[in-house]
Amino acid sequence: MDLSKEDLEILNSPIGLKYLFMDKKTDVEKVLRMVKYEIQLKELQAELIKLQNWTIKNGKKIVIIFEGRDAAGKGGAIRRITSHINPRHFRIVALPKPTSEEEGQWYFQRYVNQLPTPGEMVLFDRSWYNRAVVEPVNGFCTENQYTTFMGQVNDFERMILESDTYLIKFYFSITKEEQAARFKDIKSSPLKKWKMTPVDEKAQELWEEYTKYKVKMFEKTNTEIAPWVIIEADRKTKARIKAIQHVLDMIPYKEEVI
């Protein structure tokens, strides 16, 4: 491949040399892609710090929802967004199975309790949309519970927005083949296999059911005031960059001195 002067400078940088010597078989094209990703990611993460400072100083509230199929890369994107911002002013929410007490409450109550206070960003690693897809597919809710949720969710989000809160809804989309490959990688890794759950184990078998409910979710809840942002996530690096860039584009922050 023909390398430009810029490419050569990138390859000879500390991060470029790190990737060049990482594997015995050097794929220069892949190294360039990864180094450019790292450079762009750091630039965007610096902007996220500015966004957070603006959020804190102006008492703004931000909610970012991460939905998508199992192994779609939601957690990895969340880690890149939060890796350099102030941990005292953001929370990652990944709620477990509801308790018996929570099961008797209004469905949205446990999520209301997690919404941000002024100056805070909350990132939901899965959210109230469990009831739109995961729960009906796996038989974790009744048809009536599902119908009630679908009838209330748009009003719930409207109330969030009217409380002077920014709401961003991401759906990370991967192909069936890519999901299968990621599951194989997770199962073969002693450091990752703990991530596989019984729900994950059935995801390939229930692929079409997930698709059916996903389509219904988009049709009902892709509203003008709270639209879904679909992130094509077969390539994790591109997905992370697109998600961060969208957050920066959607929130009108300015650089602040804290």
Q: Give residue-wise pLDDT tens across range 102-139.
A: 999 999 999 999 999 999 999 999 999 999 999 999 99
d(CA 52, CA 34): 26
pLDDT digits (tens, 9 = 90+) for 203-234: 999 999 999 999 999 999 999 999 999 999 99
Q: What are phi and psi of 23, to 5 degrees?
A: -120, 150
Domain count, the chain: 1
Q: How far apart are CA 52 and CA 253, in angstroms?
A: 8
Compare 15 and 38 and report the one with higher pLDDT.
Answer: 38
Q: What is the CATH number of the domain that holds 245?
A: 3.40.50.300
pLDDT one-digit tens code per residue, 44-77? 999 999 999 999 999 999 999 999 999 999 999 9
pLDDT at 62: 98
pLDDT at residue 19 above 90? no
- For range 188-192, the mean pLDDT: 93
Task: Answer whether residue 35 is part of any domain.
Answer: no
Can you tell me the distance from the alpha carbon of 20 to that of 35, in angstroms, rounded to the nearest whole number?
Answer: 10
Residue 53 within any structural domain of the chain? no
Residues 258 and 253: their CA atoms lie apart, in Å, by 14
Q: Please report whether residue 142 resides in a domain.
A: yes
Residue 151 is assigned to a structural domain of this protein: yes
- One-character DSSP codes across 152-211: HHHHHHHHHHHTTEEEEEEEEE--HHHHHHHHHHHHH-TTTGGG--HHHHTTTTTHHHHH
Residue 33 lies in a domain: no
- Domain of residue 197: give its range: 59-250
Q: How many CA atoms lie within 13 A of 27 on its CB side?
A: 4
Residue 197 covered by a domain: yes
